[in-house]
Structure 1
Amino acid sequence: MSTPSIPNQRAVLDRRVLAASIADAVAEAGAQAARPRIVELLRGALEDGRTELARRFAERPTKGYEVVHGHAFLIDQLIRVLHDHVIADLYPAPNRSKGERLTLIAVGGYGRGEMAPFSDIDIAFITPGKTTPWCEQVIEALLYYLWDLGLKVGHSSRSLDEMVRMAKADLTIRTAILEGRYLWGDQKLYDEASRRFWEDVVPGSEAQFVSEKLAERNARHKRMGDSRYVVEPNVKDGKGGLRDLQTLYWIGKYIHRVRDAAELVDVGLLTQREYRSFRRAEQFLLAVRSHLHTITRRAEDRLTFDLQREVARRMQFADRTGKSAVERFMQYYFLQAQHVGNVTGVFLAHIDEQMGQRKRPKGLLASFRSRPRMFKGYRIVGGRICAPGDEWFQQDPIRLIEIFQIAEEEGLEIHPETMRMARRDAELIREDTRRDPRANTLFLKLLTGRRDPETVLRWMNEAGVFGRFVPDFGKVNAQMQFDMYHHYTVDEHTIRAIGLLAQIERGELKDDHPLATELLPQLGNRTVLYVATLLHDIAKGRGGDHSILGAEVAMKLCPRLGMSEDETEMVAWLVRWHLLMSATAFKRDLSDPKTITDFVSQVQTLERLRQLVMLTIVDIRAVGPGIWNSWKRQLLGELYELSEERMRLGHKRHGRKERIDAKKARVAELLDNDAHLIDELEDRFDDAYWIAEPEDIIALNVPIYAAAKEAEERLTIFAQYYPARGATLVTVIGDDHPGLFYRIAGAISLAGANIIDARIHTTRVGKAVDNFLVQDPLGKPFQEKDQLTRLQTTIEDALAGKIELVPQLAKRPLARPRAESFEVRPTVLFDNKASGRFTVIEVTARDRPALLNKLARTLFECRLMVNSAHITHYGERAVDNFYVTDLLGGKVTAQDRLKEVERALLKAAGEPADAEMA
């Protein structure tokens, strides 16, 4: 295989001119003395070639093949010139022996003639037998020249026999040689190496090669997140990336000896249409990878948030209504990754069949092969459902829905040839099919299937049938959300959420989701929940509030699906308010009766409450790994229980005194032998403390407070793992004074922790009792003894004035450096209706170290008292909610006062540079 023709090659590198310049340098100074000059000539040629290729790439930024072939050509020419110089000038051997022969083989991606701008150069040096001193000298000289040019070279030096022996034993070596291309040197020796590989290594090992390659691919996918829809994909090694396409080529070449991907059509592994899809995806992915290398000037293959925007710009994607350029670029990326998955599935099925035919038993054993059976007109063979003929779907497009529904209900795979037909015929689904009652009934049965709707809906989506049958879902197919919170595309997130519902219903997630497992069987209508889960994000990317727009979609789609008026209204309500429960649980003070009153007045019925908690749980869990945690589980459970109790028992179960007495009784049970402390400290804790804190935290606070009182300690700091919420509880008891909260917040940040919840109290004798729930930057609790000690010591030193908080906090690195890629405009919202006693202030800003400290200090400087703080992170965005009063304990209502506070908070929430300019 040779590298494809490059237009105007001499503009990239003119080998004759370069060779002549080197010859002149040697003639002038001698081969050894001319070395620095030769390196300078080579470096100049390399840089000029790269500049020319970069110019061409900037003009044609989507032509991936052109750029990778161009760089392979450039390196080819350099190495050929170098080789000729080394054997002619440095180590001439006019009468070489048979052993003094050397061939250079380009292997790996370089062997395919594909080289991204900063990829490694992989070369195999092959000798006829044991390496001679002359061969060693030539190889060493070539490598030193390449290293002097700053090139990364992967190389091996082997005899023919060693190459055969090692290729038989090692899959990586076998794959590298499989892609071997004659580069330079002894042509006959290369031909002999190629013959030995195909005659001595390959025969009889085809099945093993395929098996090992697929195992290698599966392990790679697992390592990369096992989804082609992760929002920071690896273009080379990720699922749906270049390596998947290369794996197909390797397998095809190993079994059928194809010389390029086009021949996969000739041997029946791909159709012409699938080959075009292969080429389109590879062209695009090669272009993206080359842009990543060009931007970073290194071998960068991960399409991270900070690079996505720049690659989108270079590839000339533009903003559209509701979708930014980067979101349109990434949607196209995921569509190509999907095409890679489609091609892979069909290809591997054919390989499987071909390998199976080779191993198929003959004679008497042949009768024991799996016999096909018929089911509702379909053939079932070996656990796969097949269309009985090529025109099956054309005769009745409703069968495109039916086959997936049967596959889910019966636990069958869909034969890849049938998937190929479905993909081809998906465009037959038109309005008459969408309106057909039978088609909609089949779709609802699939969506609410009890076996594995997630997997089958994913097949349906990748076949293009899902988006044709539900066009609104087609609009979010492969659509990413450009933020650090969502890990998957909208369609993948939705399908995963449906899968989680099915898992919960099967009882498989009882440990993670005990409340959901208990509630799901109690629902009055499980179909409503599944449809609401399908539609909750369906209006993303349209501009405007996706919850409101999604509810409008539900009102139109649900009747088409055959749902009643009541069911339609319930689905629309759930879609409209699917963020209500998480916003209330994570941003509001659940101990404030007004929080529960407002939430219940919006939800109104127990059925809505149960449906909403189920939808909220799977929505959060399906966002991505690490998003769901025990803190969220606890808060959602608490909100559900308080709301359910309010709905069952009416507006108020008891008066204020009765509620406090009931809580004291429960705390007494938890304290057991220390229950007497409640009476002893009766004069310290006021009613507000008893109402605000959960009983388990009060049971932790009371003994600490009593011990501090007895020891007459001015400051007590206690940190302990708090498993109920998957966090660490930090309790600070000491003399209350203005600014205590922001100083503690700064110290906790300095110790490397994030505050997720905070409650601030002052006892009747002027002592502060402040409780903080903290986690590390990854959302995990501090548990180790040295971690807890560091927290306590840092807070103590900060409050004692031993640490200068402001300069120390300024030195802390950004917890998420890539957050700089996102624009988060700071906002400040005031709500005087959310609480009976407090003004609630919500501040949204880019997450960064010591943000809470800055905001709390600003509130202190604005003469406001913070009663509790509730902190939520959504990737790069932090949303901090404060329950505050003025110094006299009243709400902040005057407009000029609110404006003053807003200006101060916006300045604190802005970027450091913005804050300095303000």
Structure 2
Amino acid sequence: MSKNVSNQPVPDLPGLIKTYKDRLGRKHAELVDWFRAGTPAAELIRLRSDFLDEILIDGWHHFLGPLAGRLALIAVGGYGRRELHPHSDIDILVLLDTPEPPDPITHRDYQQPLTGFLNFLWDIGLKPAQSVRTVEECLEAAERDQTIITNLTEARLLYGRETLFEALASRLGPDHLWPSKEFFEAKMAEQAGRYAKYHDTAYNLEPNIKEGPGGLRDIQIIGWIIKRHYNSRNLQDLLRQGWLTEAEYTELAQAQDFLWQVRFALHVLTKRCEDRLLFEYQKELARQFGYMDPDINLAVERFMQRYFRTVMGLERLNEMLLQLFKEVCLHRDEDFVFLPINENFQAVNSYVEVLDPGVFRKHPLALLQIFLLLQQNTSLQGIRASTIRLIRQHLYLIDEDFRRNPEACRLFMTILRQKTGITHQLRRMNRYGVLAAYLPPFGRVVGRMQYDLFHVYTVDEHTLFVIRNLRRFSLAQYRADHPLCSELFELIPKPEILYIAALMHDIAKGSGEDHSTLGATIAQEFCLRHGISARDTELIKWLVQHHLIMSMTAQRKDINDPEIIHQFATAVGSQATLDHLYLLTVADIRATNPNLWNSWKDALLKELYLTTRWVFRRGLTKPLEQAEKIAQVKAESRVLLHKLGIPDPIVERVWNTLNDEYFLRYLPEEAAWHTVAISFCGPEDLPLVLLRPVSQRGSAEIFIYAQDQDFIFAHSTAVLEQLGLTIFDAKIITAGGGRVMNSYHILEQTGEPIRDQMRQVQICAKLRECLKRPGDAPIQVQRRESRQIKHFTVPTQLYFHEDPQDRYTILELVATDRPGLLSKVGRAFTRCGIRLYNAKISTIGSRAEDIFYITDAEDRPLRQESQRQILRDCIVALVGSH
């Protein structure tokens, strides 16, 4: 039986825990005070680490007693680096010795005191991530998992047996396990996986400052690789060993210090280990970092622009350094293959590099030529790190004379006219600073965010995504995703017109002026400088100035109305312009927000495009009359009904209850579906509720046929919203016999169709159940509001517009998109005696922009200001002013 030499249980453990919790609390408050007084985070994270060394060593002695010197207490990970932010976890390793006879101490003797020590750390609030192992166990775990060898690379002895610590350290080197090549490849795979998790972009508007591309982890990965290969201890070794220039090291150090400042402030603000720059923290952080503006959103945007430009620089340094390490870690001198390209460049292992460090100084145009070379030589994988450095060092050569040089303009246009590599090279040009230098207005939007829930990427990243989307229309592998776009792209004689329009469409964001108008001016200057013909220049200008017209028309206007279509066609002017506009619109919407595109928008834009194309073929001078449209819908509907075996007398009986308005607002397939449903519906079947999962417009369509009653719209929308469905369109028709027809186009909140049959049955049953109780007030929608909504509340605004044909009053509502919004509007309509005929529902981030076509109870437009004010007051009372 082994001899128990552990210390006795610690007397007054609760008192000890309280003492140390108080010490931690006082030190935390002291560090926060110093931070607010201006002490750099770089100093404070080391002070916190040193203070915790004292706490852990004290606790080690308290609980281990005579055993404290036989084991080794080791800090690993970020704690090992002495980088502890206010709420960072502490990573520790307890290294056990391997007792041999006649030693009376066994591992069992350590168990109780170690458990007491580790519980003590949790009790005082330190949340340690601990492991307890022997040297052999450490080596076995490290051999299996590169994250463990990485953690151990940062190991630092806090207290205990130094020979034990050295025994581990001596066997962790690359000559024993994880050689430099294998370690480097593992870290590259880890980084690729991490980047993919964040969609390969650092420019999401709620970035993770630690794990996101360009974040602190990118700096750490550089440190781990040089430490593994050179046994270096800090980033200064990069400078001493010639990996970085003074300017690059300064950029790296300043970026790290800035991210440390942000992370420290974030931990203090949230009172937890929070590394996500969520919207709810950005305003306060902007204020703390000195960004003040009467418009707080602009202050946030400037703060975040600094953040995004910082991580962009870190991404660039990470790419350059890792490529240098790759050459050292993976290749011997004899592995390098040199192939000449031209008088300025050569290929080295498939990476392009300058033949002479003075190339850019002697031939400044080579700063553009290098990207064209990459396009024209698909075997080239990228630019060699040393040449990336030279590009950065010679950006000053891209001055006004350079920009006006006809050869530079020709080179840039040649890049845009290539069949491959346009997106990749524009991204590289942006990452290395060339694009911002060549197009200064573009430089102003690099890293520029828009503080809302709609635009989830910075302006420059969004712009490059638009160009990527346009390029995909030309690629066979994406044809199934966008068949019409792919078909139209083949008809575009000069795709560069689209790329230029995309490059310019948001280039004036953040200028304080109308970005479309100013962007058109910038686009015109670009075209003049680049020798683009007058005709093409006018098309590009028009596309930039009107790049929103198609999405706004499709989503906010009644595209079943021949007058609306004729107005849109007149504004567009020609089939060629329509083709360009449609492609740009689809690419733009898809690049704004990954969750924004859905089958409804796809179908709506396609319908607007095809209808407008038909108008051009018919001729703008021969607009479709309403009577002609009605006759056309009836004729096409009748053909469909005949195929279903519905005889004309039944069709006429149903249609006699409908007015001409109905046939103007519904598609033939919708009219046929409704006609069949009504023809088989008796009084006992009311209310009739039907759902078809896929309509011609890509959404599910719900059809309600019921006795006219109060609150039908309010009831229906409340039920649909409570069920977590998104409503895009609503039409209300009063039929003969005191009956009403409501139809809604809906999708799941994810933008997906409603595929599950049980879900479809549930929706219809809930609607029918609700509508059978006409006297009840509409249900209150209880769905939880998004956490982000409260940070982006929109003042409620109502605008009344005249209908050109004097049939309705058009009410435009702008408000915060909260659960139950439509139902509340419906209640206001009922209270004020308002009839609703049509609704176009549009949500842009947290902002609802809904259009309602309404009349008074006598089917007349609301002409009196007093009528409008009563309705305005009622809606605000129900919806709220924000």
Give the TM-score, by structure 2 length.
0.94
Q: Quick one: which amino acid aligns to residue 654 of structure 2?
A: L
Q: 2:863 aligns with which of 893, 899, 906?
A: 893
Cα distance in 2 for residues equivalent to 1:628 and 1:531: 23
Are 2:512 and 1:543 equivalent residues in the alignment? yes
Q: What corresponds to 1:466 in structure 2?
A: 435
Q: Quick one: which amino acid aligns to residue 693 of structure 1?
A: Y
Cα distance in 1 for residues equivalent to 2:645 and 2:265: 67
Are 2:89 and 1:120 equivalent residues in the alignment? yes
> Which SS does the other structure have where 2:810 is aligned?
strand
Cα distance in 2 for residues equivalent to 1:892 and 1:594: 21
Cα distance in 2 for residues equivalent to 1:907 and 1:509: 49
Q: 2:252 aligns with which of 274, 278, 295?
A: 278
Cα distance in 2 for residues equivalent to 1:376 and 1:564: 33
Q: Quick one: which amino acid aligns to residue 509 of structure 1?
A: Y
Residues 348-363 of structure 1 aligned to structure 2 (within 5 Å): 348-358=322-332
Q: Quick one: which amino acid aligns to residue 662 of structure 2?
A: Y
Are 2:794 and 1:824 equivalent residues in the alignment? yes
Q: What corresponds to 1:780 in structure 2?
A: 752
Q: What corresponds to 1:705 in structure 2?
A: 678
Q: What corresponds to 1:587 in structure 2?
A: 556
Q: 2:26 aligns with which of 40, 45, 48?
A: 48
Q: Quick one: which amino acid aligns to residue 472 of structure 1?
A: P
Cα distance in 2 for residues equivalent to 1:572 and 1:321: 30
Q: What corresponds to 2:143 in structure 1?
A: 168
Are 2:48 and 1:71 equivalent residues in the alignment? yes
Q: What corresponds to 1:401 in structure 2?
A: 368
Cα distance in 2 for residues equivalent to 1:417 and 1:409: 21
Q: What corresponds to 1:185 in structure 2?
A: 160
> Which SS does the other structure have where 2:341 is aligned?
strand
Are 2:197 and 1:223 equivalent residues in the alignment? yes
Q: What corresponds to 1:32 in structure 2?
A: 10
Deviations 1:778-809 (A, max 9, x none): 22232212322222222223223399666632
Deviations 1:674-711 (A, max 9, x none): 342533423222221122111222232222222223x6
Are 2:735 and 1:763 equivalent residues in the alignment? yes
Cα distance in 1 for residues equivalent to 2:34 and 2:488: 61
Q: What corresponds to 2:721 in structure 1?
A: 749
Residues 4-23 of structure 1 aligned to structure 2 (within 5 Å): none
Aligned-pair distance for 1:58? 1.5
Whether the aligned pair in 2 keeps the contact of 1:426 and 1:463 (CA below 8 Å) is no
CA 1:166–1:471 in 2, change beyond 3 Å: closer, same or farther?
same
Cα distance in 1 for residues equivalent to 2:597 and 2:358: 46
> Which SS does the other structure have where 1:158 is aligned?
strand
Q: What corresponds to 1:456 in structure 2?
A: 425
Whether the aligned pair in 1 keeps the contact of 2:714 and 2:778 (CA below 8 Å) is no
Q: 2:305 aligns with which of 323, 331, 337?
A: 331
Aligned-pair distance for 1:273? 2.1
Q: What corresponds to 2:75 in structure 1?
A: 106
Aligned-pair distance for 1:38? 1.0
Whether the aligned pair in 2 keeps the contact of 1:832 and 1:840 (CA below 8 Å) is yes
Are 2:214 and 1:240 equivalent residues in the alignment? yes
Aligned-pair distance for 1:659? 2.8
Cα distance in 2 for residues equivalent to 1:38 and 1:200: 45
Aligned-pair distance for 1:827? 1.9
CA 1:833–1:562 in 2, change beyond 3 Å: closer, same or farther?
farther
Q: 1:846 aligns with which of 816, 832, 857?
A: 816
> Which SS does the other structure have where 1:729 is aligned?
strand
Q: Quick one: which amino acid aligns to residue 306 of structure 1?
A: E
Aligned-pair distance for 1:506? 2.9
Aligned-pair distance for 1:632? 0.7
Deviations 1:731-762 (A, max 9, x none): 11110123321221112112222211111112
Cα distance in 1 for residues equivalent to 2:138 and 2:867: 81
Aligned-pair distance for 1:770? 0.8
Cα distance in 2 for residues equivalent to 1:466 and 1:325: 25
Q: What corresponds to 2:651 in structure 1?
A: 678
Whether the aligned pair in 2 keeps the contact of 1:884 and 1:891 (CA below 8 Å) is yes
CA 1:276–1:876 in 2, change beyond 3 Å: closer, same or farther?
same
CA 1:860–1:593 in 2, change beyond 3 Å: closer, same or farther?
farther
Whether the aligned pair in 1 keeps the contact of 2:344 and 2:356 (CA below 8 Å) is no
Whether the aligned pair in 2 keeps the contact of 1:826 and 1:910 (CA below 8 Å) is yes
Whether the aligned pair in 1 keeps the contact of 2:423 and 2:468 (CA below 8 Å) is yes
CA 1:473–1:654 in 2, change beyond 3 Å: closer, same or farther?
closer
CA 1:427–1:906 in 2, change beyond 3 Å: closer, same or farther?
farther
Greater Cα shift, 754-763 or 892-901? 892-901
Q: What corresponds to 1:689 in structure 2?
A: 662
CA 1:674–1:319 in 2, change beyond 3 Å: closer, same or farther?
farther
> Which SS does the other structure have where 1:129 is aligned?
coil
Deviations 1:305-336 (A, max 9, x none): 11222222222222388971111111111111
Aligned-pair distance for 1:599? 1.3
Whether the aligned pair in 1 keeps the contact of 2:344 and 2:359 (CA below 8 Å) is no
> Which SS does the other structure have where 2:202 is aligned?
coil
Whether the aligned pair in 2 keeps the contact of 1:595 and 1:835 (CA below 8 Å) is no
Cα distance in 1 for residues equivalent to 2:89 and 2:665: 61
Cα distance in 1 for residues equivalent to 2:344 and 2:604: 51
Cα distance in 2 for residues equivalent to 1:334 and 1:560: 30
CA 1:79–1:804 in 2, change beyond 3 Å: closer, same or farther?
farther
CA 1:508–1:652 in 2, change beyond 3 Å: closer, same or farther?
farther
- In structure 1, stretches of 5+ residues that fail to align are 1-29
- In structure 2, stretches of 5+ residues that fail to align are 1-7, 100-105
Q: Quick one: which amino acid aligns to residue 862 of structure 2?
A: V
> Which SS does the other structure have where 2:617 is aligned?
helix
Aligned-pair distance for 1:576? 1.1
Q: How many percent identity over aligned positions?
A: 32
> Which SS does the other structure have where 1:722 is aligned?
coil
Cα distance in 1 for residues equivalent to 2:295 and 2:340: 51
Aligned-pair distance for 1:421? 0.8
Q: 1:571 aligns with which of 520, 540, 552?
A: 540
Residues 591-606 of structure 1 aligned to structure 2 (within 5 Å): 591-606=560-575
Cα distance in 2 for residues equivalent to 1:700 and 1:579: 33
Whether the aligned pair in 2 keeps the contact of 1:843 and 1:880 (CA below 8 Å) is yes
Q: What corresponds to 1:627 in structure 2?
A: 596
Q: 2:783 aligns with which of 812, 815, 823?
A: 812
Greater Cα shift, 145-154 or 267-276? 267-276
Are 2:234 and 1:257 equivalent residues in the alignment? no
Aligned residue-pair number: 863
Give the TM-score, by structure 1 length.
0.90
Aligned-pair distance for 1:261? 1.2
Cα distance in 2 for residues equivalent to 1:494 and 1:488: 9
Cα distance in 1 for residues equivalent to 2:514 and 2:367: 33
CA 1:242–1:725 in 2, change beyond 3 Å: closer, same or farther?
farther
Aligned-pair distance for 1:353? 1.1
CA 1:197–1:834 in 2, change beyond 3 Å: closer, same or farther?
farther
CA 1:660–1:844 in 2, change beyond 3 Å: closer, same or farther?
same
Cα distance in 2 for residues equivalent to 1:833 and 1:706: 33
Q: What corresponds to 2:394 in structure 1?
A: 425
Q: 1:267 aligns with which of 241, 258, 261?
A: 241
Residues 294-313 of structure 1 aligned to structure 2 (within 5 Å): 294-313=268-287
Q: Quick one: which amino acid aligns to residue 181 of structure 1?
A: R
Cα distance in 2 for residues equivalent to 1:806 and 1:685: 27
Cα distance in 2 for residues equivalent to 1:605 and 1:896: 43
4+ runs of 1 displaced by more than 6 Å? 320-323
Are 2:846 and 1:871 equivalent residues in the alignment? no
Q: Quick one: which amino acid aligns to residue 240 of structure 1?
A: G
Greater Cα shift, 342-351 or 896-905? 896-905
Q: 2:530 aligns with which of 550, 561, 566?
A: 561
Whether the aligned pair in 2 keeps the contact of 1:129 and 1:161 (CA below 8 Å) is no
Q: What corresponds to 1:648 in structure 2?
A: 617
Q: 1:714 aligns with which of 678, 686, 690?
A: 686
> Which SS does the other structure have where 1:761 is aligned?
strand
Whether the aligned pair in 1 keeps the contact of 2:91 and 2:129 (CA below 8 Å) is yes
Deviations 1:82-136 (A, max 9, x none): 122223xxx446xx9xxx7111111111111111211211100012216623432
> Which SS does the other structure have where 2:86 is aligned?
coil
Q: Quick one: which amino acid aligns to residue 67 of structure 1?
A: L
> Which SS does the other structure have where 2:507 is aligned?
coil
Q: What corresponds to 2:347 in structure 1?
A: 380
Give the aligned CA root-mean-square deviation in angstroms: 2.3
Q: 2:636 aligns with which of 651, 666, 676?
A: 666
